[in-house]
Amino acid sequence: MIGKGSQNALRMAASLAAAAVLLWFFFRKVSLKEVAQLLAAVKLAPALAAVALALASYGARAWRWALLLHGVGKPPFSTLAGCTAAGFATSTVLPARLGELVRPLLLSARAGLPPAATIASIVAERLLDLLTVVFLFTVALVTGKQGREALLPSLLWTLGTVGVLSMGLVLLVTAREAIVLWLSARAKSTWGQRLVHFVQELFAGLAFWGNPRHALTLVFASLVTWGLAVAQVAVTAQAFARTLPFRDATLVLAVSVVGLAVPTPAGVGGFHAATQFALTTIALWPLPPATAFALLHHVICFVPVSLVGFGYMLMVGFSWRQVRQVKP
């Protein structure tokens, strides 16, 4: 039987191998010299503005997180923002998006919130992200012709999946009391009781489905969060003396998010290849500037927030033991 340490090593090796293959695919047809020249000519003011927009989107994400946790507690915004940055920072060095687990557990340790509730809030957050990105992607795709032929099949599959998921969630939330009672009747062990508690907290995190006013507030917060991200993409294009309409910027962002689904540290490889594909297919950019944009876009999305996140972890005396001691 493979030990836990060996499993982690294999997971890391697989993640790095996937990143290497995707980076090869990303660079295989482009002149590295030309890409370097484009990056050297980047305009500083738009690049800095894009950094500010990226950080603002993470701030909006922390605000939305507070809304998701409103029934559990009211941690300070600084703690929410710091834990958000720390989660993204650790995701840059850990495979399989493990930073998404560090974020809620660190918040539990710092703010004294129930771990099951904070983890459940991340599940709810990811569902909101999925719905928001699909909505923006759909609106952008149907309001113009460019890129529609290449992306329409993916959109239809995504809409079908999201529709089924949404219906399933509505049914689950509607039947949440019956589900908890059924689990409670069969939870005899300590782990079973923890599972019941986690399911209760998860349903609490999804309660916005049954509260129209709170749901609308969260929808607004999600649109602000992703609107800032779209603006960051558009402004990044200006750093290359190019214009990227808001529609195209939305589609580029949506496709780049798909690239993040590949479980590599910081989305390396998948994020780059997806962004490059989107720019060449939707915005009809030549390959060299699309490649240079993808590299700069990745740096803007991950480096500033990682510096903030690691700085926060250093400031609060973060330790892995502190997180591991928090039991969901």
Domain boundaries, the chain: 34-324
The answer to whether residue 270 scores a pLDDT higher than 70 is yes
Q: How many CB atoms lie within 10 A of CB 45?
A: 10
% of the chain beyond a pLDDT of 70: 86
- Annotate 293-318 with b (16+ C-beta within 10 A) or e (fewer): bbbbbbbbbbebbbebbbebbeebeb
Which whole number is the average pLDDT over 72-98? 85
pTM here is 0.84
Which whole number is the average pLDDT over 113-123? 84
Question: Helices 115-142 and 99-111 sit at what angle, rounded to 10 degrees?
Answer: 130
Q: How confident is the model at residue 1, as a pLDDT?
A: 46
Q: Tell me the C-alpha distance between 159 and 197, whole Å.
A: 32
pLDDT band at 321 (very low <50, low <70, confident <90, very high): low
pLDDT band at 248 (very low <50, low <70, confident <90, very high): very high
Q: How confident is the model at residue 299, as a pLDDT?
A: 95
